[in-house]
Chains A and B, each alone.
Chain A
């Protein structure tokens, strides 16, 4: 853990009773390949935390671990006072009903209409009658600016619409915690800003705790209360937007200033290696 992170943690980390999600000393790997190393993270009730980092930094793996879709090799994740790696199946199912997840591509079930996708959690987990479910679905679709799209199939929606429909499904049960994977990826700037506004509106209206995984700087700076910067599987800095912008850690500064890693191509060396290979 870097000095910056330690300093930031003392200044920014929420007190224990406010913490809703706590990640302790988390390691995660795909086979022999270690992806996450000693992740320490906490998220308090009602906060928007953005996990930011470049491609291959481990953002998606961290999200998968937090969602219980992947088992860590070490460490623990505590959500709402439950250790998701040791909790029994029934409790995990109960916990999942308090969480909503909006996936990068929407992840709508392709065999059913947009409306049926959004109704699915309500039909599976509540005894509400069909008319109430329809009203709730319409309200959420209106909130996402998707009114009238209920009967379309997912294949008939654009990328931005799919994300918003996925978000509507994620919040249909009014979850306590919302996870959002790459809200801006692949979207035009206007749609991207609209989604950011929607995230802020959701927090305001429902007091949700929101964890957003992104590599989009503008989006992160717009919505985040705090940002955790991931680099090569480690959190190198956690802090407010201002603290991240002012951070002098080279890895953070490079990400903020969009400075690429230096790639040196030695023409002669490349040619000689090619020749060696041919021989």
Chain B
């Protein structure tokens, strides 16, 4: 009984400690945004990695998500005789919710995991110690370009996901279910408002910060992982980073939706 309470207490303390560490990490990254010299070359490299190289999975997942949405909405709307509204249903679902969430999940899977593992390995190989000893801040040199690249790339990827999703819905609606293409597009134009687009942009920005923050922070503190070291610790923090990013992102999605709807 007492040992269980002790365990629970110990766990709570370690969770609070980790939250404090990650909070301090984010704060240091944000304050380092303004320090010089700025690593433009590294920023471009990271935008290419996070943004450009994520394009294939964003295009594919966006297309299929839009197609599935169209099938599902057609089935539901047909029961109420409102299939004409399919364009707005697909568009709104994508822009308000599925676009930002699915893009963030794809980026977590592709970029979050590799960023976390890369930073954890850098820590294990004393690369951060080496940077510190060269009077180069690891936050400014390593974290800031990745942070900015995520904040720039993820909203753009979300926008691309939304557009491709709408095209996917169009393919199913117009070519398979014989709906009018003009009507499909017109209902989207008539329904989508600036506040829907704002919700998409705000959510994708919040998700970008969450995804890159947790991936980098978990990797940066790999040496504090209890009971493991080396490759095992890298594997463990990478798994934890992916799970924590996904859960935190979905929680933030609920909070953001409740404020923005």
On A, residues with C-beta under 8 Å from B are: 67, 69, 93-94, 96-97, 99-101, 103-105, 107-111, 120-121, 124-125, 166, 169, 179
Contacts and interface: CB of A to CB of B under 8 A. Distances in A.
Given A110-B122, A124-B37, A103 B136 contact: no
A109 B133 CA distance: 13
Nearest to A173: B134
Contacts of B141: 124
A94 B125 CA distance: 25
B50 to A, nearest CB: 14
Contact of A96 (B37, B126, B134): B134
A101 B130 contact: yes
A97 B133 contact: no
B125 A96 contact: no
A69 B223 CA distance: 14
Given A110-B121, A110-B122, A121 B136 contact: yes
B127 interface: yes
A110 B121 CA distance: 9
Secondary structure call for the A interface: mixed
B133 A99 contact: yes
Contacts of B126: 103-105, 107
A170 to B, nearest CB: 8
Interface residues of B, number: 16
A36 B121 CA distance: 28
Contact of B135 (A93, A110, A169): A93
B117 to A, nearest CB: 12
Contacts of B122: 109-110
Contacts of B133: 67, 69, 96, 99-101, 179
A216 to B, nearest CB: 20
Given A101-B130, A124-B37, A107 B135 contact: no
A96 B134 CA distance: 6
A69 B121 contact: no
Interface in B102-128: 118, 121-122, 125-127
A94 B126 CA distance: 21
B253 interface: no
